[in-house]
Amino acid sequence: MSSRHSLRPIGQLGLGPEGASFEPSALVSIAERFREPCAVVSDASGARVGVAFGGTFGSGDGPRLPLLASLAPLYPEWLGDRSFAEVHRVRFPYVAGAMANGIATARLVIEMARAGFLGFFGAAGLTPDRVEAALDTMHQELGKSGHASGPVIGGLNPPAGAIAPLYAYGANLIHSPQEPELEAAIAALYLKHQVRRIEASAYMRLTPPIVRYAYSGLWTDPEGHVHRKNHVFAKVSRPEVARRFLEPAPAEILRALVERGELTEAEAQLGAALPVAEDITAEADSGGHTDNQALSALFPTLSTLRDEIAQKRGYRRPIRLGAAGGLGTPASVAAAFSMGAAYVLTGSVNQACVESGLHAEGKKLLAQCALGDFVMAPAADMFELGVEVQVLQRGTLFANRAKKLYELYRAHASLEDIRGADRGRLEQDILRSSLSEAWTSTQSYWRARDPREIDKAAADPKHKMALVFRSYLGQASRWAIAGDLDRKVDYQIWCGPAMGAFNAWTAGSFLASPDQRGVVQVARNLIEGAAALTRAQQLRSAGVPMPAAAFDFRPRLLS
């Protein structure tokens, strides 16, 4: 392979024992030696560009070649923003997102934490007692989440008596417009158990519970620097929603929280000058709630918005912007970091791992899917609003049936108005019960969860219809978690194109088998591969004619 390099040499390199490599086969393996410093050199004629390890700049008794560039060691730990690891006390700038209904299990979070990653428990859709049980498990195995998460400015120490966390981990807080009391109860639970990191998802506007959590425990050191105990990871896909988390909370919410005794006057005053979240996750085309945005368009848009607001507000603390959605291969992870992501967040690929709460039958379906096997379907939690989630289409009829329910909801004023073939399909195929039996079952559920919904249904037949339809949507995800084989065609499995890309990348490797997909092995391979591809790109940018195989990091067992 020959290529006349246009750059002038910056000196001479005395070659070490390895000499220099110019052949394509050697350059492929060199890209994976990213933890070692290396030099870009040309041969004596200047016709070929290659790579050398070791050697001495400008001297040496052995052969010498023109030196074109010198590359420092590259580590997966350094791909993101260094402040991410410092603030959250993790090794890697990599997060396992909170898959709802406990699919992101306590065990998944524990394994990630022990390996130096950050994980969030999937609390959305669970009752407070289920969430509390998971918190107890994580506390027992990992220790309390801790107080102030380490200094960012000037090497400051936490206040006297603060406990440094043994491991970093967190849990999810989902916007629940249909059940605001549940959202408030979960937020209060996190404060009670000193959960210092939450992933805020599906928010369309700020609510008192998320603001209370964000600003509880704010304190200042003797030099006047403000520190926070609690950290919000706001997962957003629209600039207008991102702005709400990047700005301080509205004064009326702060005032109401102080009046209710849920924030102190001092906390509210400090919070009035701080963003609600200092970790913003740009959520592109992902599983579950998503706007199907392209990460390459969303991320820079949010980055510009972040910078504008930070400059206008004069924020002294860094606001980190992470990337999520479509991240199922080393190439996609490397691309996210190349755009400036402080960290990456994965979801769909973790759901296919052995530690996830999804049943083995559901994981088999995930292992078979390709890039186009996903579709949008009505969401259980925001059904009446027409909000959709991205789900697996291959091997399940859920999406088609969920869309039919929404069509019936829009077309009819009540359950009783549904007649003929539509009623037959509804009762026989979807609900598998008469409408009266379905309502009796739905009543039982809401009688235990929130009896006020039954009262609303009695006054509004359309709300009654929505509750019955939502019961199917809600149970569909639980059938997939429980592995109900009688309902396999109705499995609702939240995922996006990252899963199809992951399957294509892992084909023929040990990660192709669902029972070999450990969440830490997946994370290590993705971020290790991202580092290798980043090195390959560095070398190519320095003029080395890197072969295509250098950008194809294959899965392997990593310690």
**Strands 64-71 and 38-42, bridge-based pairing:** antiparallel
Within a domain: 349 = yes
Q: Encoding tokens for residue 468?
A: 């019955």
Domain end call among 324, 358, 392: 358
Regarding whether 305 and 429 lie in a shared domain, the answer is no
Which amino acid is residue 527, in one-letter code?
I
How high is the pLDDT of residue 59? Answer: 63
Regarding whether 108 and 53 lie in a shared domain, the answer is no
Whole-angstrom Cα Rg for the chain: 26
How high is the pLDDT of residue 164? Answer: 42
Regarding whether 102 and 68 lie in a shared domain, the answer is no
Regarding whether 140 and 191 lie in a shared domain, the answer is yes
Sheet hosting strand 38-42, strand order edge to edge: 20-21, 49-52, 38-42, 64-71, 11-14, 56-57
44: exposed, middle or buried (Cβ count in 10 Å: 0-12, 13-18, 19+):
exposed
Domain end call among 328, 358, 388: 358
Between CA 267 and CA 263 the distance in angstroms is 6
Which of the residues in the chain have pLDDT under 70?
1-7, 59-61, 145-166
The reported pTM is 0.92
Within a domain: 364 = no
DSSP for 189-255 reads HHHHTT--EEEEES-SS--HHHHHHHHTT-EE-TT--EE-S-EEEEEESSHHHHHHHHSPPPHHHHH
How high is the pLDDT of residue 147? Answer: 39
Regarding whether 82 and 59 lie in a shared domain, the answer is no
The domain containing residue 396 runs over which residues? 370-492
For the stretch 153-201, pLDDT in tens is 323 333 334 334 468 999 999 999 888 999 999 999 999 999 999 999 9
Regarding whether 202 and 157 lie in a shared domain, the answer is yes
Regarding whether 380 and 279 lie in a shared domain, the answer is no
Domain end call among 335, 358, 381: 358
- Cα angle value 69/72/74 (rounded, 5°): 130
> What is the number of domains present in the chain?
3
For the stretch 310-366, pLDDT in tens is 999 999 999 999 999 999 999 999 999 999 999 999 999 999 999 999 999 999 999
